[in-house]
Amino acid sequence: DRPTGDDVLVIWNRHRWQETFVGAYERAGGKVIVVENGYLGRDFNGSLWYAMAVGQHNGAGRWPAGDPERRKQLGIEAHEWRKDGEEIVILASRGMGSEVCRQPDGWPQHILTTLKRRTGRPVRVRAHPGPQPSARDTTLSNDLQNAWAAVTWGSTAGLKAVLMGVPVFYGMPLWIGASAGRHIEQNIEERFLGDPMPMLDRMATAMWSI
């Protein structure tokens, strides 16, 4: 009831209904560790994976970051950026998490309408597959097979798209994948085709298995 600076609170994700409780720890100087499914999926590489950071999640928290050896140890590599493709695929999220991290209500449809005014390319929304295991009869790879670019608020699917070599635009400013993509407010015809490895190095040091 009365946290101090010596206390550590560990929570799963960070939801709006938790803010009063979590805020009491932060105001007292205590440390809040936010745990969530691993950034590349909880079943990445045949193990059960979690992501952990201080204060926030989805890249907005703090952790010792940026070790290429850690990334190599986990076998995280990316394909070369795709040069072809025709459509823009919006990767919808479930809208869970804190105010700074959650996808805003109605964001996929809003971006769909916006992009149809900004580009002559075909644009469509890929609905979130729902809780795992998914009952979808198509995979992310299939959904992106003709993608010129993917658009995400800040999702695991967006990170997987980067690994597939699909250029990504994002909405969440502090998204963990931001340095390997471009913000959705930028020119949709100017995709990020730079080096994704610094982002992947940073991501790898936030992922852990038991």
Q: Identify the bridge partners of residue 170 per DSSP, sorted by sequence position.
A: 152, 183
Q: What percent of the chain is modeled with pLDDT above 70?
A: 96
Residue 169's beta-bridge partner residues?
A: 151, 182
The string of DSSP letters for 48-59 reads -EEEEEES-STT
pLDDT of residue 131: 57
In percent, the amount of the chain with pLDDT more than 90 equals: 78
CA angle 117, 120, 125 (to 5 degrees): 70
- Distance from C-alpha of 17 to C-alpha of 180, rounded to nearest angstrom: 32
- Whether the pLDDT of residue 135 is over 60: the answer is no
CA angle centred on 82, ends 77 and 88, rounded to 5° = 115
**Stretch 150-160: mean pLDDT:** 95
Q: Check residue 41 and give its pLDDT.
A: 86
Listed ranges 35-44, 57-66, 111-120; the one with the highest mean pLDDT? 111-120
- Phi and psi dihedrals of 118, rounded to 5? -95, -15
**Residue 132, pLDDT score:** 53
As a whole number of angstroms, the distance between CA 118 and CA 136 comes to 30
pLDDT band at 16 (very low <50, low <70, confident <90, very high): confident
CB of 111 closer than 8 Å to CB of 126: no
Residue 43 pLDDT level (bands cut at 50, 70, 90) = confident
Taking CA atoms, 191 is separated from 84, 166, 183, in Å, by 12, 10, 10
Read off the pLDDT band of 89 (50, 70, 90): very high
pLDDT mean over 166-181: 96
Residue 10's H or E segment, with its range, is: strand 8-12
Note the Cα 101 to chain centre separation in Å.
9
Name the pTM for this structure.
0.90
Backbone angles phi, psi at 47, to 5 degrees: -125, 170
Return the higher-pLDDT residue of 137 and 53.
Answer: 53
The structure tokens 């007292």 sit at 28
